[in-house]
Homo-oligomer: A and B are copies of this chain.
Amino acid sequence: MRLNFEYLAENIKHLSDQAIKQTLNEIPLADLIEMWANLAEEDVVRVFLQLDLSDKVDLINSLSISQQEFIIQQLSTAHIKRLLEEMEPDDITDFMQAVSPEVKDAVWKSLSDEAKKETQFLLRFDEDDAAGLMTPRYLAIQSSLTVDQALRWVRRNVHDVETIYYIYVVDQLKRLQGVLSLRDILSGRDEDKIEEIMIKNMITVREDTDQEDVAKILETYDLLALPVVDGYRRLLGIITFDDVIDVIREEQTEDIYKMGAMGGSVVPYLESSVWDLVKKRIPWLTILLITATFTANVIDLFQNVYAQAAFLVPFMQLITGTGGNSGTQSSTLMIRGLATGELEFKDIGRVLLKEIMVGVLIGIVMGCLTIVRVMVFDLGLAFDEVMIRGVAIGLAMSFVVVVATLIGALAPLLIKRLGFDPTVAAGPLMATVIDVCGLTIYFQTVRIILKL
């Protein structure tokens, strides 16, 4: 499959449009999307034009905004028009929210009157809320119909909506009364009344429900779509499962960026400018540099200790590194548990108990390994001298691991309790706290044991 794409990308100059079309038939769309960025700029539109209309739409929806813009800018108005007719209003809206004003204008002019109305309606809502994900193209019927009438009506309207698999029942004020799956209709008898077989106690989301909660609700009930209602229970639109999958991926990237100490929006790497990347990274690095100065202060406090015993210096990094890693492991487990809803603040007692036991066990193992390490390191000295150094540093290591494990476990729970995002506790910021505590424990322990 890859071979075909590479063949295409390399030989495109010598290929006829027909040959491009044939090669494209051999390339799965998922692969084409993945490798789209590898096409030479001048070839992008030529390849695009050879795709089937439905593949064009799937491709456009899967590309990043700047790739979408690049293609749209080079298409004729007639072409854009045809493409937009195939696209769902929610996808058009997402696109309009992101593109440059010129492209937005071009797209706007190419929209049909109905699509304009739909897009204008959708543009009113925040894109991170439930309403930002919804499409206004759904099937809605009155409760007085029979199954047979409803089925005929579905068959007539099959082309105008995003999904025909859920049919919503509304009253004259568009207030949601119930829902039916197409399955319910098909399994009903022709003469059954819709109001008798519809589900009245259905799952809905409010227009301002957070998109992450929307995803969780759809997942829990394995639904294909969720209705979005306003404060008067009027049906505004529906959210389909494919948009929810996009949300799950997006939130995933955001969480991973936060764990890597970066904030801001999620823009594909190759499309971010150097300046975007610098802006995303500098704030956290600066905060961490400032907090790290506390570490420097702590080390400075113990200057008379390491001045007397220079062999302590090389092990500082070993102590803080292992402490940091133990803490990161604990905080990762907590952050993930909190994100999936498995853990809550009230579990703090059970978590603490478990982490103390884990910390002590790991601490003992790491302490013993450290003793071995010190003995190998200081080979030149007398055995009892090496032994006492090893025990001192190993014991300090054990203490540091226990404390770091507890900090790693508690920090996310406490941060969440205070109403902040526990993900910020991952890695860097916590590492500074662990460094400060770890070095204090280290120097105090060795000072006492080695009588410095």
- Residues 157-201 (chain A) with a chain B CB within 8 angstroms: 158-159, 164-165, 182-183, 186-187
A58 to chain B, nearest CB (A): 6
Main secondary structure of the interface of A (DSSP, over half): helix
Chain B min CB distance to A318 (Å)? 5
Q: Are A318 and B340 closer than 8 Å at their CB atoms?
A: no
Minimum CB–CB distance for A75 against chain B, Å: 22
B248, B322, B344: the one contacting A292 at CB < 8 Å is B322
> Which residues of chain B are near A132, meaning CB under 8 Å?
none
A281 cross-chain contacts in B, Cβ below 8 A: 326, 329, 358, 362
Q: Mark A240-261, 1 if CB is under 8 A from B, else 0.
A: 0110111011001101110111
Q: Which of B219, B255, B350 contacts A270 (CB 8 A)?
A: B350
The answer to whether A220 touches B62, judged by C-beta atoms less than 8 angstroms apart, is: yes
Q: Does A352 interact with chain B (Cβ within 8 Å)? A: no
Number of interface residues of A (CB under 8 A): 116
Residue pair B337, A288 in contact (C-beta under 8 Å): no
Is A303 interfacial (CB-CB < 8 Å)? yes
Say which one of A33-41, A93-101, A111-119, A414-422 lies at the interface with B. A33-41
Q: Are A155 and B366 in contact (CB under 8 A)?
A: no
Contact residues of A between 39 and 75, Cβ < 8 Å to B: 58, 62, 64
Give chain A's interface residues, CB within 8 Å of chain B: 28-30, 33-35, 37-38, 58, 62, 64, 154-155, 158-159, 164-165, 182-183, 186-187, 203, 216-217, 219-222, 224, 241-242, 244-246, 248-249, 252-253, 255-257, 259-262, 268-270, 274, 277-278, 281-282, 284-286, 288-289, 292-293, 295-297, 299-300, 303, 306-307, 310, 313-318, 320-322, 325-326, 328-329, 331-337, 340-344, 346-347, 350-351, 354, 357-358, 361-362, 365-366, 369-370, 373, 377, 426-428, 431-432, 435, 439
Q: Which 7 A-B pairs have the closest CB atoms?
A: A260-B332, A296-B314, A222-B242, A299-B314, A34-B341, A30-B220, A158-B187
